[in-house]
Each structure stands twice: as structure tokens, then as C-alpha cells.
Amino acid sequence: MADFPVVDMGKLNTEERGAAMEKIKDACEHWGFFELVNHGISIELMDTVERLTKEHYKKTMEQRFKEMVASKGLESVQAEIKDLDWESTFFLRHLPVSNVSDNADLDEEYRKIMKQFALELEKLAEHLLDLLCENLGLEKGYLKKVFYGSKGPNFGTKVSNYPPCPTPDLIKGLRAHTDAGGIILLFQDDKVSGLQLLKDDQWIDVPPMRHSIVINLGDQLEVITNGKYKSVMHRVIAQTDGNRMSLASFYNPGDDAVISPAPALVKESDDTSQVYPKFVFDDYMKLYAGLKFQAKEPRFEAMKAVSSVDVGAIATV
């Protein structure tokens, strides 16, 4: 098995740019995941985000999680649990309108630093989308334009902690799934592992790496690239020791964005070459909500059935 792809973004401004772009291309085509170093987000900012996130869990979330575990009797389960995850989470929305200031659980320092972190991640996400355009032969800005819809992209962060689990063989930290959206930027714990992706029918660890950002591709990029890039099943394995921190930021299309294969990636001479449907992003999210932990292919097929709606007319509103 090849090594997990790690991309040094510092090389994009050197004579090694070609090799770095090729590594991104190969990762998008064959892994659906890659890890970024020298990505431009300051180490000091990341260290502060990590410290405040862990402090917030201890202060606000840990007792709630223990009470939930006790109320459901999860510490003494004897059979595999398939309908919940061993995680403590909350969600922050950044775009189109931020709700960070509305979360009463967050102190002012944490709110301020998460807003700053989100701005850095937003810039990185948009830079990455342009790099993908370059590798795909699409005009610069194409993916950002598709994602924009009429009100701009959706962007938010799922803040998760995966506490020590007494029965990791019976309860997943997070059950296997693909991500519904666009491009995902993950700042994960560098000491406690657990994230795995499915490649060639084998579960492979995504290696914890200090100050890296893990990138994975969502279902929408698979559709837009007409399958050239793939979203990949991944999961979190609960651990008996250590509390794993995870901040997954989802840069997704706007609710009314119309998603379909890029014309430049569809063979005009072959009517059957467009294998993915055309749909409105919010319609896909409504379907995904009930089918997250199932295979993505039936979701795509279901969207073909509803794509008889004139999404072209919606796009021009």
C-alpha cells in the first residue's frame, strides 16, 4: 500500500510546483484524502484553537457526555451499537451568516479565535478549489462560481471530541460515511488517532501529524468532476485511551447552487458519458440527512429521479 499522501504547499511557489500539483491530482483521483503541511495557517493560531477547544470540552461538554452515556447505558453494552456515535459535538456556522456569537456556551476568547480560524480556513478552501480547477483543466474560479449559488457558499465547522471508550469494538466514534458537501478541511488531534478511510477494500489510518490540515473531497466534487475525483468512505474508531479532538470545516455549495458535471469534463460525442445527475444542492442535503451512513450511489440515483425538475430555471432566478 502506498504511503498516505502528504502535500507540502510551500513547494507550490518553487520549482517543485509541478510535483506538488501532481501529488494533489493523484490524491484526488486515488485517495479522496490528502494531508497539507506549510498551508499558511499560523502554528500559533492552531495551538490556541486546540487549547481553547480542549478547555471548552472539559468545562462545558464532558459532563454532558458522561450523563448521556449513563442515561443510555453505553458503558455496559454487550452487542454492537449501530444507531449512534461515541462523540461529543457542536456546530458553528460561518457562511453565509455566522452564528458563532450566538453560542452561549462559548466564552469571548474562544468565539474570537474561532472566527479568526474560520477566515483562514475559508481562504485555504478557496485556494484549494482553484488548484483543483488547474489540475482538472477548468477555468480558474469555476468551482467557486458553481458553489456560490445566489447567496454564497455554506461554510461551517463541526467541533468534535471522541472521549475514551470502554468498548470500541462495539461502538464507533463515527460510523462510516462519505461527506455530502464540497471540500472538507480537518484540524485533528496529533496524539490520539482514530480517523480511517476505505481504500481498495481496506481501512487505512489517516496519520495524526502536528499542525497539518487533512483534506477530503465530498460528494459534490465527485458529481462536478463527473467521477474523475471521488468522495471516499471514512470513519472514526473510538479509543480506550485519550480524548481525540477534531475540527472538521465543511466548505459547501450554497443552498440553491445547481450541481452537475462540468461540461468540460463530459465527452460531447458520447451522450452516456455524463453519469451523474443535475440537482439543487439543498435537495441533495435533504436526502442525505436520512441516508448519511449508507452508500452514496443510491443517493446519486435518487437525485436522477428528481432532476426532472427544471434546475436550470432555478439557477437563473
**Concatenated DSSP letters of 50-95:** HHHHHHHIIIIIHHHHHHHHHHHTGGG--S---S--S-EEEEEEEE
Confidence label for 316 from pLDDT (cuts 50, 70 and 90): very low
pLDDT of residue 306: 77
Tell me the average pLDDT across 135-141. Answer: 97
Confidence label for 307 from pLDDT (cuts 50, 70 and 90): low
Tell me the average pLDDT across 187-192. Answer: 93
**220 in Cβ contact with 180 (< 8 Å):** yes
pLDDT of residue 304: 86
Tell me the average pLDDT across 56-63. Answer: 95
What residue has cell string 461554510? 155
Residue 20's Cβ-side half-sphere holds a number of Cα atoms within 13 Å equal to: 18
pLDDT at 81 over 50: yes
pLDDT of residue 217: 98
Of 300, 173, 298, 299, the C-alpha closest to 248 is 173
User: Distance (Å, rounded) from C-alpha 155 to C-alpha 9?
Assistant: 22
pLDDT at 163 over 80: yes
User: Long-range contacts made by residues 56-63, C-beta under 8 angstroms, separation at least 24?
Assistant: 56/105, 56/106, 56/107, 56/110, 57/88, 57/161, 57/243, 57/245, 60/105, 61/88, 61/90, 61/161, 62/88, 62/161, 62/163
Question: 162: part of which helix (H) or strand (E)?
Answer: strand 154-162
Which DSSP category does 308 fall into? T
pLDDT of residue 268: 57
Tell me the average pLDDT across 207-227. Answer: 96
Condensed to tens digits (0 to 9), the pLDDT of residues 198-208 reads 999 999 999 99
**34 in Cβ contact with 27 (< 8 Å):** yes
